[in-house]
Amino acid sequence: MQLRHLPLAASLVLILSYSGIAYAANPVPRTCSSAHASVFEQNSTPSGGTGGTGHEPTIPPGGIGGTGHEPTIPPGGIGGTELKASIENSGIGGTGHEPTTPPGGIGGTGIMAAGTLVNVNGVVTVEDYSKQKIQLASGDEICLGDRIASSGDAKAKILFADGAILYLLKNTEISLTEYYYSAKEPKLNRSLVTLSKGDIRSVSGKISKLNPQKYSFQTPASTIRVIGTDFLVTHLQQQEGALEAGTYTKVISGEVSVQSSTSTIKLRAGESSHVMLNGTQSIISGGGGTCTAP
């Protein structure tokens, strides 16, 4: 990773000022419905049962629309995932992740569009839940379960459905682990982005205000919970120069809670912390390692 050889502030200025050059890709923008075709659009009855997920080669176990995780239809209900013990808490054909039918819908997979890639410069790729890997371009949808990676000279901006903005710098890898937004169902709103390596900047949206307990970021060393804020995160997989490995967090505005295996620290505007790979956490000076405000 070469990003640490220049200040993160300079990189972020580039992100905030570029107009966005779409890298050559498919002429038709990627959508989550096309990226994750309905099970009913697959070859006849898919493995996993009618409307199932394909986890099993035959309809049973799991039942019609089930996942094949259970030898009988309950728990999970018709089309459920066995995460709940009744149809009411799983949804008909839903994913079992929510107490109501959406997201997932009747016969749905629960895979939904979380946002849109509004600017991309350089090579940014995505690997979806089925391990299919493609190159992204401006206008492509970002879907639940996506694993997104930027190359050594790339940067990108994602606009989420709730208005949140996420900037990716070069040599960065994130996964959209959880996402659901509905103004009518604030208690169901949630967002979890996993940062495996590299640098991101996040400007939070409505989920952080409507359901802050379910709005967070994870790295291999820490969990960062957000309260209406603008902040930066860097995760180093190994020591680079004078910088130790681990997760660096700096708050520009608002407040975050950084939790590691050993402690939890609240950071306010202008404060930074470092979490070592062993979980040891401390408040630091100097702009949060590579995390320097633009």
Higher pLDDT, 121 or 8: 121
What's the pLDDT at 45?
33
Check whether 112 has a pLDDT greater than 50.
yes
Q: What's the CA gap between 32 and 192, in Å, rounded?
A: 18
The rounded mean pLDDT for the chain is: 73
What's the pLDDT at 2?
38
As a whole number, mean pLDDT of residues 54-80 equals 46
Percentage of residues of the chain with pLDDT beyond 90? 51
Specify the pTM: 0.67
As a whole number, mean pLDDT of residues 110-135 equals 89
pLDDT category of residue 157 using cuts at 50, 70 and 90: very high
What's the pLDDT at 77?
43
What's the pLDDT at 15?
38
pLDDT category of residue 142 using cuts at 50, 70 and 90: very high
Check whether 67 has a pLDDT greater than 90.
no
Longest dimension (CA), the chain: 60
Across 1-10, 21-30, 112-121, the highest mean pLDDT is recorded for 112-121
Check whether 1 has a pLDDT greater than 60.
no
What's the pLDDT at 88?
34
As a whole number, mean pLDDT of residues 227-232 equals 86
Higher pLDDT, 5 or 235: 235
As a whole number, mean pLDDT of residues 67-91 equals 42
pLDDT category of residue 286 using cuts at 50, 70 and 90: low
pLDDT category of residue 156 using cuts at 50, 70 and 90: very high
